[in-house]
Structure 1
Amino acid sequence: MPKSKRAKVVSLTKTEAAPQERKASLIERIRDSIDAYSRIYVFSFENMRTQSFKELRVEWADSRFFLGKNKVMRVALGRDEEEEYRDGLAGLGKLLTGNVGLLFTNRSPEDVAAFFDEYGFLDFARGGFEATEDVELEAGPLEGMQHTMVEQLTKLGLPVVLDRGVVTLTKRHDVCKAGDVLTPEQARLLKLFDRRMSEFKIVPVAMWHADEVTMLADGAVGGAGGHVGRSRK
């Protein structure tokens, strides 16, 4: 079995963003996982949703996910070949930039690729999200809108009236156009009209196994991916 470098003392002075206890705990849990699992993935994510991620953790109860300060996770893996906990992990750590996390698993690369190729959760967009499609409302009765919502809809920018107890749009209205950066009001309207366009997606970026890092193309194992190589001591 490859020898770990658990005895090596690593300074945390370059990662002062979180309390020392939390940093040390995260580093310890990551290193325990390195010892327990055969494969480590760096994954990127978009439009994170807490509840969806909790459900994903349950579905992958035989594996472990880590999200945290990238600098601290990099310390756990090793910032360079001298510090790395196992051979090759410093190369994986260099990929910890932006919206990324770590997945530790014993599942096969084929299982991981197949799952995340299909995985995605469509949710309501929030303010600041870039709209992915045009959303238009035609003039006329607005189904599902209660008469008590007229004031709320008016404040959100909709030209509505109450016509014989029915909430009615007096003229055609563009809620958003593809490419618009949504305002909070637009995001609220999209939710009221049940229009989802924000997809929570996870894409495996690279895999560490047997002291080697393999880059993954389009989130798939194999394909145009390639070996980064093994650290030489």
Structure 2
Amino acid sequence: MPKSKRSKLVSLTKVAKKTKEQKGALMQEVQANADKWSYCWLFEVGNMRNSHLKTVRKLWKDSARLFFGRGAVMAKALGTSPEEEHKEGLHKLAQQIKGQVGLMFTNSPPSEVIAWFADFHPPDFARSGNISPQTYTLPSGPVLQHHSNPPEPFPHNEEPQLRKLGLHTTMVRGVPTLDVPHVVCKEGKTLTPEQAQLLKLIGIKLVEFKVGLRAYWESASGEVTQVEGEDVEPDADGEKDGEEDEGEDEDMD
């Protein structure tokens, strides 16, 4: 029988798995960079956003090499035991590779790296499942969108969406308006999908993308030094950034 020409549903979430050859190539890249650079850093990402991680890569393009992907492959490349480690001391770093972490190879001194990442924490929109760091209330009056400066009122055709997200608005001179203040979220409470969507629609960024430095390996001595850095908030409910799949082995160069 001829093949059916009917439309078929294809899941856009499916991602081709890395082949053994690709994983082997990634391992070789990690090991080559361990041979090339003076330091190897282990870092953790909070409120993961591909756009911000790409900014880090761009700003460090000439002075570092970043890898971010499946931890098991990176750990195997470094070697998780003294017998398997690629270079002396690397197994101490490899044993700490757990969760959403990455590696950064660089010649920059530790003090410079720590200071740079302490100052890099761009704001972003919270997602469903995030814990709200503050209480945010919309005042009575026209509902404003904060994507511009100064903020502008929402157009009339946005009112159905605002009402769908929980706002009790009325139209005043063609502008969605609140008669009384509306509490969008409360400090310490988990954000619902509707709250997160409303905050993004309004243009309010409540979370920050952060890179938490956990430890670094020094090639000259083979020593691994722990870094007492700021805790980072994991991505909400295991959500992934929509631009690309972070779950696969990603060479961020």
TM-score tier (shorter) = 0.7 to 0.9
Question: Residue 54 of structure 1 corresponds to which residue in structure 2?
Answer: 54
Give me the whole-angstrom Cα distance separating, in 1, the residues matched to 2:228 and 2:174.
56
Q: Deviations over 1:129-154 (max 9, x none)?
A: 11111011122222321111111101
Q: Which runs of 5+ in 2 are unaligned?
A: 1-16, 145-152, 231-253
Question: Residue 78 of structure 2 corresponds to which residue in structure 1?
Answer: 77
1:208-219 equivalence runs, <5 A: 208-209=217-218, 210=220, 211-218=222-229
Give me the whole-angstrom Cα distance separating, in 2, the residues matched to 1:150 and 1:187.
17
Question: Residue 40 of structure 1 corresponds to which residue in structure 2?
Answer: 40
Question: Residue 118 of structure 1 corresponds to which residue in structure 2?
Answer: 119
TM-score (norm 2): 0.77
Q: Which runs of 5+ in 1 are unaligned?
A: 1-16, 220-233
Greater relative CO, 1 or 2 (CA 8 Å, sep 6+): 2
The one-letter code matched in structure 2 to 1:25 is A
Give me the whole-angstrom Cα distance separating, in 2, the residues matched to 1:190 and 1:85.
47
After superposing the two structures, state which structure 1 stretch, 26-35 or 166-175, moved more. 166-175
Give SS of 1:154's match. Answer: helix
Give me the whole-angstrom Cα distance separating, in 1, the residues matched to 2:87 and 2:114.
24
Question: Residue 110 of structure 2 corresponds to which residue in structure 1?
Answer: 109
Give me the whole-angstrom Cα distance separating, in 1, the residues matched to 2:112 and 2:128.
35
Give me the whole-angstrom Cα distance separating, in 2, the residues matched to 1:112 and 1:67.
17
Do residues 160 (structure 1) and 136 (structure 2) align?
A: no
Question: Residue 207 of structure 2 corresponds to which residue in structure 1?
Answer: 198
Give me the whole-angstrom Cα distance separating, in 1, the residues matched to 2:23 and 2:43.
21
Question: Residue 26 of structure 1 corresponds to which residue in structure 2?
Answer: 26
1:68 is displaced (CA, Å) by: 1.2
Give SS of 1:91's match. Answer: helix
Give me the whole-angstrom Cα distance separating, in 2, the residues matched to 1:68 and 1:156.
35
Give SS of 1:178's match. Answer: coil
Q: Deviations over 1:83-129 (max 9, x none)?
A: 00001011100110122110100111121111011111111111121
Give me the whole-angstrom Cα distance separating, in 2, the residues matched to 1:138 and 1:207.
47
Give me the whole-angstrom Cα distance separating, in 2, the residues matched to 1:141 and 1:37.
56
Give me the whole-angstrom Cα distance separating, in 2, the residues matched to 1:216 and 1:168.
50
Give me the whole-angstrom Cα distance separating, in 2, the residues matched to 1:52 and 1:77.
26
After superposing the two structures, state which structure 1 stretch, 26-35 or 171-180, moved more. 171-180
Give me the whole-angstrom Cα distance separating, in 1, the residues matched to 2:168 and 2:21.
54
The one-letter code matched in structure 2 to 1:59 is L
Give me the whole-angstrom Cα distance separating, in 2, the residues matched to 1:98 and 1:134.
30
